[in-house]
Chain A
Amino acid sequence: MSAVIDDHGHVGHDHHHGPAKGLSRWLLTTNHKDIGSMYLWFSFCAFLLGGSMAMVIRAELFQPGLQIVQPEFFNQMTTMHGLIMVFGAVMPAFVGLANWMIPLMIGAPDMALPRMNNFSFWLLPAAFGLLVSTLFMEGGGPNFGWTFYAPLSTTYAPESVTFFIFAIHLMGISSIMGAINVVATILNLRAPGMTLMKMPLFVWTWLITAFLLIAVMPVLAGVVTMMLMDIHFGTSFFSAAGGGDPVLFQHVFWFFGHPEVYIMILPAFGAVSSIIPAFSRKPLFGYTSMVYATGAIAFLSFIVWAHHMFTVGIPLTGELFFMYATMLIAVPTGVKVFNWVSTMWRGSLTFEAPMLFAVAFVILFTIGGFSGLMLAIAPADFQYHDTYFVVAHFHYVLVPGAIFGIFASAYYWLPKWTGHMYDETLAKLHFWMSFIGMNLAFFPMHFVGLAGMPRRIPDYNMMFANFNMVSSVGAFMFGATQLLFLFIVIKCIRGGAPAPAKPWDGAEGLEWSVPSPAPYHTFQTPPDMSDVHEHRKGTGGELTP
């Protein structure tokens, strides 16, 4: 590498040319910061698109009866909302954060495979263009739920299902390439002396997430390939007529699906584990246990998938095994929550926007974990399954979990990305509106779910009317507030108080050792981390060289 040869520059010195000009900068870029920004913008667009579909859903459910859309279209909205949020909003946002921050956190000049990085990003617009275009095809887009259970997605699927399958293939390839890139970067490009146990937790959780992706995205590709063969080539993987079994679909899907939900939360765990210590002005409590807890969660996530299938008729021993294995996940998860709370204990806390989102993350994610534990009780799940209680559960883990984790990260690192401080007053407003809107939208779903309101149905019993109206009001509030976030980000890019290299006095990590905004090329000469203590000594606070 050229940077190693002419090592006259100090850390972060930009001795290369800057970015190319115009469109080709973005089309052809191999720079991790450019690609990170593109991922983040892509994710935000998907978030708004998936969000507007949620608005259609909540508008229809504002009152009982059918008012605005037909059931067929309603089904397409619930399906596309789920698919776009999971694969288009949450996952690309974390890949964007990984691109931006992992090289800065481990003192690497870029990602290990920059060209593949460009390719894996540009597959995404293709995949989602294809997916969204199915809405305009004859027969409509996918209407079988984001879990696309066979035979709904095979025998009874709309014609467009083939495009849906290709879209999943493309986005799967993109995620796999992204994950390979992350593993290669973390394992091979760490600065000298940056041992694994000195890595910030965001890097750790992403390393483990990347392994999860590499393990389960191919299984997802496999299951959609089987669907494709059933639909077009006369096989019968999921068709009982030819000796197949639709329940097999659910096993293969959830073998992917459960690790997938952890793929959506582990990077947020990592980001919050940087943010809470920064605003508590204390090192993270229990760094080592955090690493092991993450590993334990990842391992357990492979042996609990059938908790999504308690009602399909698995044997009693199976119900018991999956019930206890699922409950076991609460133990490492509890370790994490304990560590975050202990980090705040007796800290000198301040509540800037990243910290507000991080604290809300800890509290509300825990609520989602508790409802998960209720669902894990197999006999109780016979009552809860496929009701709004499940919808309440996974929105509590995904909205204040994954999405708040992303907001917290965005505010925490925006000064580093843009060189400006964001507008703190507006950001606090964004937080409180999101917090109130989200709780109004999702908390009542627990009640209607326990009372038996089924999910994915456009109409409902009169007795659920009041709670649904509250949910819809909350959802509109949450949705509208996200436009404020867009405004805050644009305002921060265009100006604002200049950000120092380290805008948060309690923050730790190599990313704060480069100027703000981070120069186009950083760490051409790797920093020497040999003298820095490992986190395991319980000090953890000396990562800034």
Chain B
Amino acid sequence: MNEALSTRRLVRRLVFVVIGMFGFGFLLVPIYDVMCQAFGINGKTAGAYTGAQSADEARAVRVQFLATNAAGMQWQFGPQADQISVHPGATQEIRFVAYNPTDKPMTAQAIPSVSPSRAAAYFHKTECFCFTQQVLQPGERIEMPVRFIVDRDLPADVHHLTLAYTLFDITSRQPPVAVNATSAPAKESLQ
């Protein structure tokens, strides 16, 4: 047996394993996202839902809304109602209000989360401001709709869900397009 040759072959194979495992570390990122979405792990909700369901009038669940600012975020941000009662299967709408009190245009991204996390897979958003980013001019205020359906298959022992948004300042990452003073909307304040 040629020792040097077989050592070289073995080392080459092991180096492939090393490179493969380095790649596998990065592969864990999409695997994690897929798992989270498939099983609603970590309260992660899926993207836009396109299905339709009929309302289950016999059952009602309470949906609470939470809005939180991430560290350093200065906007005022909150839901128009703290909680509503919905029938599974019915489409509901709720609005969140955001207001930029600073003197700079800013970009924000809202990240949703549903608890209890096992209910996340049964919470479908047909429309959500979290699907896009929000740009607010200084003093600008907007209302942002969320339209959602609580799935009819929601486990029977879940009577009560929380939809929480955390709002992040991503201005440095996605600089907003500057607008001139005349087209800027009138200043309003969040009531």
Contacts from A to B (Cβ < 8 Å): 1, 112-113, 176, 180, 183-184, 187-189, 214-223, 226, 234, 237, 240-243, 245, 247-248, 251-252, 255, 312-316, 318
Q: How far is the CA of A188 from the CA of B6 in the complex (A)?
A: 7
Q: Are B19 and A218 in contact (CB under 8 A)?
A: yes
Q: Are B18 and A245 in contact (CB under 8 A)?
A: no
B58 at the interface (CB under 8 A from A): no
With beta carbons under 8 angstroms apart, the residue of A1, A183, A240, A312 that contacts B111 is A240
Nearest first, the 9 A-B pairs at minimum CB distance are: A222-B25, A241-B168, A218-B22, A218-B21, A219-B25, A180-B14, A240-B111, A248-B32, A188-B7
Q: Are A221 and B111 in contact (CB under 8 A)?
A: no
Q: A245-B32, A255-B25, A314-B42 are in contact. List 9 more A-B contacts (CB 8 A).
A: A180-B11, A189-B3, A219-B22, A220-B25, A222-B25, A245-B44, A312-B42, A314-B41, A315-B39
Q: Are B3 and A188 in contact (CB under 8 A)?
A: yes
Q: Are B22 and A240 in contact (CB under 8 A)?
A: no
Q: Are B26 and A222 in contact (CB under 8 A)?
A: yes
Q: List 26 A-B contacts (CB under 8 A).
A: A112-B7, A184-B7, A187-B10, A214-B17, A215-B17, A218-B18, A218-B19, A218-B20, A218-B22, A218-B25, A221-B25, A226-B26, A240-B70, A241-B70, A241-B170, A242-B170, A242-B173, A245-B44, A248-B32, A251-B28, A251-B32, A252-B28, A255-B25, A255-B28, A314-B41, A315-B117
Q: How far is the CA of A189 from the CA of B166 in the complex (A)?
A: 59
CB distance from A120 to the nearest CB of B (A): 13
With beta carbons under 8 angstroms apart, the residue of A113, A243, A316 that contacts B7 is A113
CB-defined interface of B53-79 with A at 8 Å, one 1/0 digit per residue? 000000000000000001000000000
Q: Binding site of B, secondary structure by majority: helix, strand, loop or mixed?
A: helix
Closest to A210 in B: B14
CB distance from A177 to the nearest CB of B (A): 10
Q: Which of B21-60 contact A (CB under 8 A)?
A: 21-26, 28-29, 32, 36, 39-44
Q: How far is the CA of A240 from the CA of B6 in the complex (A)?
A: 48
Note all chain B residues with C-beta closer than 8 A to A176. Answer: 18
Contacts from B to A (Cβ < 8 Å): 3, 6-7, 10-11, 14-15, 17-26, 28-29, 32, 36, 39-44, 70, 109, 111, 117-118, 166, 168-170, 173
Closest to A239 in B: B168
CB distance from B31 to the nearest CB of A (A): 9
Q: How far is the CA of A209 from the CA of B55 in the complex (A)?
A: 57
Q: How far is the CA of A438 from the CA of B173 in the complex (A)?
A: 50
Closest to A318 in B: B41
Given the interface pairs A112-B7, A313-B42, the reply to whether A214 lies near B14 with Cβ below 8 Å is: yes
Q: Are A188 and B25 in contact (CB under 8 A)?
A: no
Note all chain A residues with C-beta closer than 8 A to B17. Answer: 214-215
Note all chain B residues with C-beta closer than 8 A to A313. Answer: 41-43, 117
CB distance from A111 to the nearest CB of B (A): 10
Q: How far is the CA of A217 from the CA of B14 in the complex (A)?
A: 13
Q: Are B166 and A240 in contact (CB under 8 A)?
A: yes
Q: How far is the CA of A187 from the CA of B10 in the complex (A)?
A: 9
Q: Are A242 and B109 in contact (CB under 8 A)?
A: yes
Closest to B21 in A: A218
CB distance from A216 to the nearest CB of B (A): 7
CB distance from B14 to the nearest CB of A (A): 5
Q: How far is the CA of A245 from the CA of B111 in the complex (A)?
A: 10
Note all chain B residues with C-beta closer than 8 A to A218. Answer: 18-22, 24-25
Q: Are A241 and B111 in contact (CB under 8 A)?
A: yes
Given the interface pairs A241-B170, A251-B28, A315-B41, the reply to whether A216 lies near B21 with Cβ below 8 Å is: yes
Q: Are A183 and B41 in contact (CB under 8 A)?
A: no
Q: How far is the CA of A334 from the CA of B129 in the complex (A)?
A: 55
Given the interface pairs A222-B26, A226-B26, A241-B109, the reply to whether A184 lies near B10 with Cβ below 8 Å is: yes
Q: Are B10 and A247 in contact (CB under 8 A)?
A: no
CB distance from A315 to the nearest CB of B (A): 6
Q: Are B29 and A237 in contact (CB under 8 A)?
A: yes
Note all chain A residues with C-beta closer than 8 A to B111. Answer: 240-241, 243
Q: How far is the CA of A218 from the CA of B26 in the complex (A)?
A: 10
Closest to B25 in A: A222
Note all chain A residues with C-beta closer than 8 A to B29. Answer: 226, 237, 248, 252
CB distance from A528 to the nearest CB of B (A): 16
Q: Are A316 and B118 in contact (CB under 8 A)?
A: yes
Q: How far is the CA of A318 from the CA of B11 in the complex (A)?
A: 37
Note all chain B residues with C-beta closer than 8 A to A223. Answer: 25
CB distance from B144 to the nearest CB of A (A): 17
Q: Are B28 and A247 in contact (CB under 8 A)?
A: no
Residue of B29, B36, B173 with highest tally of chain A CB at under 10 A:
B29
Note all chain B residues with C-beta closer than 8 A to A251. Answer: 28, 32
CB distance from B159 to the nearest CB of A (A): 18
Note all chain A residues with C-beta closer than 8 A to B41. Answer: 313-315, 318
Q: How far is the CA of A298 from the CA of B72 in the complex (A)?
A: 44
Q: How far is the CA of A112 from the CA of B11 in the complex (A)?
A: 10
CB distance from A152 to the nearest CB of B (A): 13
CB distance from B115 to the nearest CB of A (A): 8
Q: How far is the CA of A243 from the CA of B173 in the complex (A)?
A: 13
Q: Are B22 and A222 in contact (CB under 8 A)?
A: yes
Residue of A218, A237, A242, A312 with highest tally of chain B CB at under 10 A:
A218
Note all chain A residues with C-beta closer than 8 A to B39. Answer: 315
Closest to A251 in B: B32
Q: Are A315 and B26 in contact (CB under 8 A)?
A: no
Note all chain B residues with C-beta closer than 8 A to A219. Answer: 21-22, 24-25, 28
Note all chain A residues with C-beta closer than 8 A to B22. Answer: 218-219, 221-222
Closest to B36 in A: A245
Q: How far is the CA of A242 from the CA of B70 in the complex (A)?
A: 12
Q: How far is the CA of A109 from the CA of B87 in the complex (A)?
A: 77
Closest to A189 in B: B3
Q: How far is the CA of A215 from the CA of B21 in the complex (A)?
A: 6
